[in-house]
A = this chain, B = another copy of it.
Amino acid sequence: MESSTGSERVTLAQVAERAGVSVMTASYTYNRPNRVSDQARSKVLAAAAELGYPGPDPSARSLRRGSTRTLGVVMGEHLSYAFEDPEATSFLAGIADVCADRGYGMTILPITGGSADVPRVTDAAVDGFIVWTTSDDDPILAAVQAMKRPAVVHGGPAVNGMGLVSIDNRAAARAVGSLAFAGAQRPAVVSFPLSRDRTSTIEGGADITAVRFPVTRERLEGYRQAAEDTGTAWHDVIVAVCARNDAAEAERIAATLLAFDEPPDAIAAMSDQQAAGVVRAARAAGRVIPDDVAVTGWDDAAVARQLGLTTVAQSLRDQGAACALAALGHEPNSQTAPWSIVRRDSTRV
């Protein structure tokens, strides 16, 4: 065994020469061992061991074969976000299940939200792409599309030529919203950001058509319908936008809402993380849930069980797996995922 230090990369040709066989015999030794005689195979393996050959170079192999056996995953606006959001994490776990099963690697692309992101997509040696929920105008989408490889978007937006795996956010929001807003006089919504310049705002109503994140837009539409169903005009519904999906920020913003002269008596959030923050703020303000203020979440995370939150259950893990399967296929493949309402004690009905 040679030291790797200073030695040039050993190639299959060198191994073949040392073993006294042709390059193809050496190649077959690695790829189709039964294609060569026991004798030849052991000569090759011996030569490889002597030279310290690391095995066929993966890049060369990918080039020649035209496939990398790897899926690329684009997670939100910053790579590390993928590991901070528990729902994003279970989505990744679903992808991982399928990849492990099929022997595919999963490459998480180093997206940072800056202008350098497009070349990173362009440079990704992957067979297919999975894109986590993003905005209509995310330049990553065009970059992925230009790669002309199978691609799937999770959540939204729908992009021509790419698959889409999502639940019916509008219907789910309407359903959970009508539980949240039942019997309420002053419903409010705690929302994800409306556009890529994640600013926190509080306003009555919100121009839903201007919202750039399709998932958020659909949920707001659902909440609007729920509000109208229960007799409140949309412009009277307070929409509090959080810059991040994060309990701490939701807690701060909910504390602000609850300190109003006419505080909301129902708050529909967009994740259980946010809802947990709202619950904390409500308790800190001495409110009783759901009597003083009803609260709903989204995702049916562990925290929702702990707090007894009414929420929308969906399996991000299954959706991740569905995305992976779709990205492994060759036709654009879309799928509508199931959801259900979990009614607990944080709503009046």
Query: Which stretch of A83-91, A171-179, A200-208, A220-228 is in the interface?
Result: A83-91
| Residues of B contacting A250 in the complex (Cβ-Cβ under 8 angstroms) | none
| Residues of B contacting A58 in the complex (Cβ-Cβ under 8 angstroms) | 122-126
Q: Kindly state whether residue A148 has any CB partner on chain B within 8 Å.
A: yes
Please tell me if the beta carbons of B89 and A83 are within 8 angstroms of each other in the complex: yes
Inter-chain CA distance A60–B89, complex, in Å, is 32
Q: Kindly state whether residue A59 has any CB partner on chain B within 8 Å.
A: yes
Please tell me if the beta carbons of B96 and A100 are within 8 angstroms of each other in the complex: no
Interface positions of A from 64 to 96, Cβ below 8 Å from B: 66, 68-70, 72, 78-80, 82-84, 89-90, 92-93, 96
Please tell me if the beta carbons of A105 and B109 are within 8 angstroms of each other in the complex: yes
| Residues of B contacting A59 in the complex (Cβ-Cβ under 8 angstroms) | 59, 62-63, 68, 125
Please tell me if the beta carbons of A68 and B100 are within 8 angstroms of each other in the complex: no
Inter-chain CA distance A125–B124, complex, in Å, is 11
Sorting the interface of chain A by its residue count into under 10, 10 to 19, 20 to 34 or 35 or more gives: 35 or more
Closest B residue to A106 by CB, please name it: B108
| Residues of B contacting A112 in the complex (Cβ-Cβ under 8 angstroms) | 100-101
Inter-chain CA distance A100–B82, complex, in Å, is 12
Q: Kindly state whether residue A235 has any CB partner on chain B within 8 Å.
A: no
Query: Which stretch of A12-20, A49-57, A337-345 is in the interface?
Result: A49-57
Please tell me if the beta carbons of A96 and B108 are within 8 angstroms of each other in the complex: yes
Given A83-B93, A110-B106 in contact, is the A63-B57 Cβ separation under 8 Å? yes
Given A54-B148, A55-B122, A68-B59 in contact, is the A78-B107 Cβ separation under 8 Å? no
Inter-chain CA distance A54–B118, complex, in Å, is 12
Query: What are some 8 contacts across the A-B interface (CB < 8 A)?
Result: A4-B161, A52-B148, A58-B123, A69-B123, A83-B93, A89-B89, A99-B110, A108-B108
